[in-house]
């Protein structure tokens, strides 16, 4: 890591690969001889069309997206998808299943309730979302239009280790905080969405990967044009001006991911980073992980000491040592280390060493 960079453990917007930032900087005022920045060019022009098409093709290749599915770049973050999903899909039966395993899946469910009847297929709320329900404990309804879950719970630090089976009901997944962190079989999903600012790029765009058969079929007549998957497919995400610069950076991130060895390499690095920190939690008499061991996230590690004062001291001293944004979400407290794709393994390794040092120095 370059001398003026810190280790940024922010949950989102979050760390980006340094080579991506350097390339963007080098191209800032004159993109490939165009005499202008990517920010300044028409989204309908030749130069931008090439960026857009290449980014989409790279995402298709990196995530192994089958031809049955379409990739969309949309605005409004993951949160607008909490509304777009029911508006586009719940019309089939008027009902949908939601798995409640954290902050964002609960928000998604509450929003969907405005548009139809919601069945809570499973919930981890009884233990403050510290675990992921077993597959046997999920109660799907037969007539749901879709089944929604959130694959990685950014706030609580839990991650689904399996893809729920839904007996033909389309699976809809919020992958905002673990997309591209491991290979996945896209054909199992009716729809995947993810805000860009965790594992893909800066804020300002969400990626939607949708089974084309689902688009348009059950759309609510009052669905805003910009939230219609059918419209977005028909216009190749350009019904209006897309988030051009964010898409360009996503493109650079994709090239970086491929250079590292693709999602297989991302999965290996994910496991390596997580092991450094979870090993400390397992050895420690001071720090305890918040999530059940069986559900530990490889992207967001949540942990605490026995006292809020000690948590605050840790966060303050960690910041001074170059480990930033470790304060946990208010719903959980304590600390959260977000270790997304762009976090170098040495960041997790050095944080782990810092935690061990802190414990030795502050032992009661
Ligand atoms: C951050 C996050 C969201 C919200 O994303 P926005 O882009 O801010 O709307 C939703 N779901 C998950 C899992 C997240 O991590």
Tens of pLDDT, residue by residue over 320-329, are 999 999 999 9
Compute, in angstroms, the gap from residue 54 CA to the centroid of ligand 1: 25
Query: Which residues surround ligand 1 with Cβ inside 6 Å?
Result: 12, 77-79, 104, 150, 154, 174, 176-177, 195, 198
Whose C-alpha lies nearest to ligand 1, atom 14?
A: 176
Nearest atom (ligand 1) to Cα of 81:
9
272 closest CA partner among 349, 183, 357, 176: 349
Nearest atom (ligand 1) to Cα of 153:
13
Surface-to-core class of residue 106, CB atoms within 10 Å of its CB (0-12 exposed, 13-18 middle, 19+ buried): middle
Q: Which two tokens stand for residue 16?
A: 């980006």
* Contacts for 156 with CB less than 8 Å, ≥ 6 apart: 101, 102, 103, 128, 129, 130, 290, 291, 300, 302, 331, 332
Compute, in angstroms, the gap from residue 68 CA to the centroid of ligand 1: 26
Give me the mean pLDDT over the 269-281 stretch: 98
Give me the mean pLDDT over the 283-298 stretch: 98
Give me the mean pLDDT over the 302-329 stretch: 97
pTM of the model: 0.98
**pLDDT band at 144; cut points 50, 70, 90:** very high
Compute, in angstroms, the gap from residue 45 CA to the centroid of ligand 1: 31
Ligand 1 pocket mutation, candidates 14, 73, 74, 78, criterion most atoms within 8 A of CB: 78
69 C-beta neighbours (distance < 10 Å), count: 21
Q: Which residues of 41-57 are buried (b: 16+ CB within 10 A; e: fewer)?
A: bebeeeebeebbeebbe
Nearest atom (ligand 1) to Cα of 196:
7
Nearest atom (ligand 1) to Cα of 79:
9
pLDDT score of 267 more than 90: yes
Compute, in angstroms, the gap from residue 297 CA to the centroid of ligand 1: 16
Nearest atom (ligand 1) to Cα of 154:
15
Surface-to-core class of residue 268, CB atoms within 10 Å of its CB (0-12 exposed, 13-18 middle, 19+ buried): middle
Compute, in angstroms, the gap from residue 197 CA to the centroid of ligand 1: 8
**pLDDT band at 1; cut points 50, 70, 90:** low
Give me the mean pLDDT over the 16-30 stretch: 98
The mean predicted confidence, pLDDT, of the chain is 97
pLDDT score of 204 more than 80: yes
Q: Which two tokens stand for residue 97?
A: 């299943």
Block residue for tokens 């610069």 = 245
pLDDT for the residue numbered 363: 87
Q: Which two tokens stand for residue 50?
A: 């090439």
φ, ψ of residue 299 to 5 degrees: the values are: -120, -35
Whose C-alpha lies nearest to ligand 1, atom 7?
A: 77
pLDDT score of 346 more than 80: yes
Compute, in angstroms, the gap from residue 209 CA to the centroid of ligand 1: 16
Compute, in angstroms, the gap from residue 104 CA to the centroid of ligand 1: 7
**pLDDT band at 120; cut points 50, 70, 90:** very high
Compute, in angstroms, the gap from residue 81 CA to the centroid of ligand 1: 10
Whose C-alpha lies nearest to ligand 1, atom 13?
A: 176
């Amino acid at each position: 890591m370059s001398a003026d960079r810190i280790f940024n453990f922010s949950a989102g917007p979050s760390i980006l690969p340094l080579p991506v930032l350097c390339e963007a900087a080098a191209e800032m005022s004159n993109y490939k001889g165009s005499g202008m920045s990517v920010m300044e060019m028409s989204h309908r022009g030749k130069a931008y069309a090439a960026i857009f098409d290449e980014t989409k093709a790279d995402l298709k290749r990196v995530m192994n997206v089958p031809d049955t599915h379409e990739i969309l770049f949309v605005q409004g973050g993951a949160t607008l998808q909490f509304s777009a999903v029911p508006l586009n899909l719940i019309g089939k039966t008027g009902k949908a299943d939601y798995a409640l395993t954290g902050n964002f899946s609960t928000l998604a469910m509450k929003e969907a309730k405005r548009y139809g009847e919601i069945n809570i297929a499973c919930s981890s709320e009884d233990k403050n979302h510290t675990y992921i329900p077993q597959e046997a404990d999920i109660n799907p309804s037969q007539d749901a239009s879709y089944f929604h879950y959130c694959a990685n719970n950014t706030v609580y630090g839990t991650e689904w280790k399996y893809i729920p089976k839904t007996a033909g009901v389309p699976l809809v997944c919020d992958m905002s905080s673990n997309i591209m962190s491991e290979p996945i079989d896209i054909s199992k999903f009716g729809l995947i969405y993810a805000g860009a600012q965790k594992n893909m790029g800066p804020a300002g765009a969400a990626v939607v990967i949708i089974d084309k058969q689902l688009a348009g079929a059950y759309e609510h007549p009052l669905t805003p044009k910009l939230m219609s998957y059918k419209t977005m497919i028909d216009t190749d995400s350009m019904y209006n001006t897309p988030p051009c610069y964010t898409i360009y950076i996503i493109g650079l991130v994709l090239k970086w991911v491929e250079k590292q060895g693709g999602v297989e390499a991302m999965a290996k690095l994910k496991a390596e980073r997580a092991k450094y920190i979870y090993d400390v939690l397992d050895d420690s008499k001071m720090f305890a992980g918040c999530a059940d061991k069986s559900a530990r996230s490889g992207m967001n590690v949540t942990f605490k000491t026995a006292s809020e004062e000690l948590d605050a001291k840790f966060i303050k001293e960690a910041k001074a040592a170059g480990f930033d944004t470790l304060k946990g979400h208010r719903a959980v407290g304590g600390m959260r280390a977000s270790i997304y794709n762009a976090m170098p393994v040495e960041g997790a390794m050095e944080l782990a060493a810092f935690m061990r040092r802190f414990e030795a120095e502050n032992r009661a």
